[in-house]
Structure 1
Amino acid sequence: MVLKKAPCLFGSAILLGLLLAVAGILLLIGVPIDGIVNRQVVGQDFLGYTRDENGTEHVNKMTESWLKPPYKMQLNIWMYNVTNVNGILKRHEKPNLNEIGPFVFDEIQEKIYHKWSANDTRVLYKNKKLYFFNRNLSCSNCDLSQKITIPNVVFQKLVDAADTTIFGIRIKFAIENVLKFVSEAPYITVKVSDALFDGYEDPIVDLVCKNKILSFLCETNTLQKRIGFFYGQNGTTDGIYEVDTGRPSPMNIGHLYTWNNLTIMPEGTWDTVAARMINGTDGQLFSPMLRRENRLSIFVPQICRSIQMEYQKDVAVSGVPSWRFVPPLDLYDPKRPENRGFCNKNGVPRYFENTTVQIENCLPAGLIDLSRCQAGSPRVYLSNPHFYNSPMELWHAVTGLSVPSANNDLTTVDLEPTAGVPTQAKRIMQINVGMVKGSLSITENTTNVIVPVLWMNETADFDQGTRDQLIQIFNAKHYSFIGGVVSLSLGLIAWMAVFVVVFVYSRQTEEEEYSRLVLDEDEVETTDAPPQEQENQNLA
């Protein structure tokens, strides 16, 4: 009876093994679970409202986090103190820099205004940033009231005025007279707090504004009365953003339509239309279902342009698998045709005669000219800290800088690729001032040089609630993998069991057949024996 059912049992076992194996393979490559997770993520990935059981509308969880990001954010700043001003002005010395820091600030962001538009497919908002000095986390000798010596941005405007105005000789003479009444000019000593957020009043400005010949510099806002590298950026917003809410397409979430009602930066900001275009996202929201081969485009109002980020490697942030994106090496390379629009066709100062370091009308690679983006057009340049990814000639033009490295000096954004949620971000940059010799007597012993003022590391780390949500996505895929391994293993075991049973059954059948043949031969031999032998056998 069992033997009659064997083919049926074997067939069922083979079919079951096949089903388990197919299910295991699908689970291993994530087909069913990815579909479920992706649909769930996409269904929740939008800014807007949901209704509770009573029909009352509430902003969804994503919007709550967007309005008041729960991320832990900090701003770390290292100041460069110039220690040899006399040597620079009198003995042709390179600027020597002493790095002080970090000065740590706790950062809080919140949306102080938001308005839905275009049938809730777009939202306009203002983002407010607040910074609070954290003495406990700052270096032991870091105090905002301590004084440092830094390049004088205002003085550089006087250098330009003496060399470029149509009444150059008269202007130069007036400037030389003004400089007799100040104790410092090319470099200035100020409090750290004033150099950063509070701003300082340069005594030169007051003297220039009172001078009849030079007063035009104040009237045309060429000289700013209060100077600070982050002046006016604490407790304020950086404009009005109009972004996509993710409805009806979650893949468009965060797409930036306008900034301050502009789709393109004003003419004169950069040299080409392509360079002035406002592209990408606002840098706070990213689309789900990221792809490694796609670059991220982010608009940064502080530098008046969009930048790109490309996939670098897989990382794990507090147990959450993430993809790390970094600025591509070609982003600030002026030799590339697509980047020439960010140069200046009207010319920039020459800091290096070597054209492999600095080509005509452009800054060296790795630098962004902020002069056309800031009020008063100060000669301020942005770079990676310690001139990382810039020609080493910039690093050698000063002394005291640490050796650049990717670990300390590279901006990174880590994103969970399924939800497109940032798990960790580091915005790292250095602010520099271009010091030009000009024709004033006080700078006759100097050379054109780019002098770092500070470098900063602004960090954002996701909160425990966001981590728990992302871990659920990871766990679903992880358990899917385990289930795939188990299912595929059971399928293979089922096939192996069938094979073993068939093999054993076949061997038994062969042995029984062989035994039967042997018995049959013995019977034949006994039956065919001669009669005499049979009689003898009977007698025996």
Structure 2
Amino acid sequence: MWAGFKKTVITGGVGIALLVLGLILLYCFPLIFSYIIQKNLPLAKGSMSYKLWKDIPLPLYQKIYFFNVTNPEEFLQQKSKPKLVEIGPYTYRSWWTKENITWNNNDTVTYREVKKYVFKPELSVGSENDVITTVNFPMLAAASWLRNTSPLEEIAASILMFLTREKIFIQRKVKQLAYEGYPDLLTVIAPLIHPDVPKTHGYFGWFYGKNDTDDGEFTVFTGKDSISKFNTIKNWNGTQSLKYWTGECNKIAGTSEY
């Protein structure tokens, strides 16, 4: 009988101890967790997050798809609607590395992030030398812009397109449409006519000039003063807004990762 009573007391004591411990952990765990986050997450040399932030170790892939026009001549002759076939993915392995890192006194850090892309044929449907029939985007962009210009400028541009023998549809290799680019006279002339058009050394490609380069100078919050600001952009190239659109579309917000 005494042995049974003793066992009950011990069991009850252990239960009460576990209950008290559980209540303490329930109350203290959020505080402990918050302390660990505040101590290790903010960006600083040697912090837990710094190495992952500086050189992203996870494999990053970019998958590109194209719409190949299979009946360009019939469409131009108004015999049929354009027939499009989606081709892809053409996969690129990417590496993102932050360089020129400067720590500022206002709990921000300034840097440039270099992104490098390498084609991975084993993860793609074909070769970078595959030929795609697609629309001549520089020509279509120029035609769209001309709708809001003066008649004289429109006539001059029309003559220029005729002399350069620009066509609505072109055939280019995947690597030319992606990062390598291809020569296009309109990309030389456009910045001379419209200063806001980026200069591309006479080449066009959807991602031309984006391989092994950076997207400009970013300044982000380290999260030291407020963890809610962690890696949030303060400004880009010294400014807090863009000039390409209107209203909220020009606002620079969010983080630098995507």
Q: CA RMSD in A?
A: 3.3
Aligned runs of 1:37-436 on 2, under 5 Å?
37-49=33-45, 59-91=46-78, 93-118=80-105, 121-139=107-125, 142-160=126-144, 163-168=147-152, 171-172=154-155, 175=158, 178-179=161-162, 182=165, 185-202=167-184, 205=186, 219-221=192-194, 225-266=202-243, 269-272=244-247, 274-283=248-257
Contact 1:79-1:101 at 8 Å conserved across structures: yes
What is the TM-score with the length of structure 1 in the denominator?
0.42
Q: Name the SS for the 2:123 alignment partner.
A: coil
Bigger Rg over Cα: 1
Q: Name the SS for the 1:105 alignment partner.
A: strand
Q: Deviations over 1:131-171 (max 9, x none)?
A: 111222222xx121222111112222443465443225x84
Distance 1:228 1:36, change over 3 A: same
C-alpha deviation, 1:102, in angstroms: 1.9
Contact 1:108-1:130 at 8 Å conserved across structures: yes
Task: Point out which structure has higher relative CO (alpha carbons under 8 A, 6+ apart).
Answer: 1
Letter of the structure 2 residue corresponding to residue 167 of structure 1: P
Distance between the aligned counterparts of 1:155 and 1:196, measured in 2? 18
Contact 1:162-1:175 at 8 Å conserved across structures: no
C-alpha deviation, 1:105, in angstroms: 1.3
Q: What is the aligned length?
A: 253
C-alpha deviation, 1:118, in angstroms: 1.2
Unaligned runs of 5+ in 1: 50-58, 210-214, 284-426, 428-540
Distance between the aligned counterparts of 1:242 and 1:181, measured in 2? 43
Unaligned runs of 5+ in 2: none
Query: What is the percentage of aligned positions where both structures have the same residue?
Result: 25
Distance between the aligned counterparts of 1:154 and 1:113, measured in 2? 34
C-alpha deviation, 1:176, in angstroms: 5.7
Letter of the structure 2 residue corresponding to residue 189 of structure 1: Q
1:468 matched to which residue of 2? none
Distance between the aligned counterparts of 2:134 and 2:122, measured in 1? 25
Q: Name the SS for the 1:79 alignment partner.
A: strand
Q: Deviations over 1:227-276 (max 9, x none)?
A: 1100110011101111111224333221211111111223xx3322x332
Q: Deviations over 1:449-478 (max 9, x none)?
A: xxxxxxxxxxxxxxxxxxxxxxxxxxxxxx
C-alpha deviation, 1:13, in angstroms: 5.9
Distance 1:167 1:275, change over 3 A: closer
Distance between the aligned counterparts of 2:254 and 2:77, measured in 1? 49
Q: Deviations over 1:10-32 (max 9, x none)?
A: 777656534434545666xx544
Contact 2:41-2:48 at 8 Å conserved across structures: no
Contact 1:197-1:228 at 8 Å conserved across structures: yes
